[in-house]
Amino acid sequence: MKLSDDEFWLHQKRIKRGDHINIEIVSESMSPLINKGDILRVRHKKLFSPFDIVVYRHIDGTLICHYIWERSRLDQKTWLLRSIKGTAFDLPVRENQILGHITHKKIGLKMKIAIFLKLFALKVKRGLL
């Protein structure tokens, strides 16, 4: 789904008032936790943490559902996000680009361990460790 600046602002305002919106997932980037075709409820959250699943607006207007990896060390209002399937970071995401978070899907301990092992193996393969 793509949103104009005005549409995004209206949805963001609605969510911050306590309402929610539903979005349909159009890719497998968060599979096996979230699959293409899933309908997810997006709600407001004031403080984000690593592994929170969020929906943000990409620079081209596309809504993307990925998880937070960490806060940027350069800017406290910027986050580094990833997909479960991918190995690269998304472009840095400012807090004002985040529409909200997904409340009914969580990255569990087993999946967190699998993600860490995958990234560790990638670093070893690239000679970074």
pLDDT digits (tens, 9 = 90+) for 39-55: 999 999 989 999 999 99
Identify the domain containing residue 28 by its residue range: 5-125
The total of structural domains in the chain comes to: 1
- pLDDT-derived band at 24 (thresholds 50, 70, 90) equals very high
CATH code, domain with 14: 2.10.109.10
∠127-68-36 over CA atoms, to 5°?
Answer: 100
pTM exceeds 0.75, yes or no: yes
pLDDT at 107 over 90: yes
Look over the chain and give the mean of its residue pLDDT values, rounded to a whole number.
Answer: 93
Mean predicted confidence (pLDDT) in 27-33: 95
